[in-house]
Amino acid sequence: MRRLLFFLALTLASPALADSNLPPAYWANRQLPDPQKEAQAKALMEEIRCLVCQGESIADSDADLAGDMRDLVRRRIAAGERPSAIRSWLIQRYGAWITFMPPSEPATWPLWLAPLALLVAGAFVARARLKTRNRP
């Protein structure tokens, strides 16, 4: 019974202060009135990595900082800035790591070439297999 009470008490405990008490930024969870601009913002937000939950995009993350980044993206797109300019502004500050669309540069060539290389290797394996099966 004591144990049960203890665990029940745990469900009431407030989480440790890891987030601020301020409400989300204005554009964090609000769509832009212009659907075309909102679509641009959404596409960019899905491609920008959250600095807190690093496997998530800022479009998916609930972190305060992700909300502030969505606010930044929407505000700048509403002001007429191009998504590519906002992307390079972020890359200037956090490196190419911040985007899930890594730019093509020597360090990322293996990443882009790997699917092709694997396809070619697979074709060779399949050919060898099919040949031996046809022989008898």
**Segment interacting with other proteins (CB under 8 A) among 7-15, 34-42, 61-69, 77-85:** 61-69
**Segment interacting with other proteins (CB under 8 A) among 19-27, 29-37, 80-88, 99-107:** 19-27
Q: Are 41 and 29 in contact (CB under 8 A)?
A: no
**Segment interacting with other proteins (CB under 8 A) among 37-45, 51-59, 78-86, 103-111:** 51-59
Task: Select 5 or 119, whichever has its Cβ closest to other proteins.
Answer: 119
Q: Are 64 and 104 in contact (CB under 8 A)?
A: no
SS3 content of the chain, % helix, strand, coil (to 5): 60, 5, 40
**Per-residue string for binding with other proteins, 67-106, x by CB under 8 A?**
-xx-xx-----------------xxxxxx-x---------
Q: Segment 20-39, which members bind other proteins (CB under 8 A)? A: 20-22, 25
Other CB atoms closer than 10 Å to residue 53's CB: what's the count?
15
Give the separation between CA 133 and CA 125, rounded to whole angstroms.
13
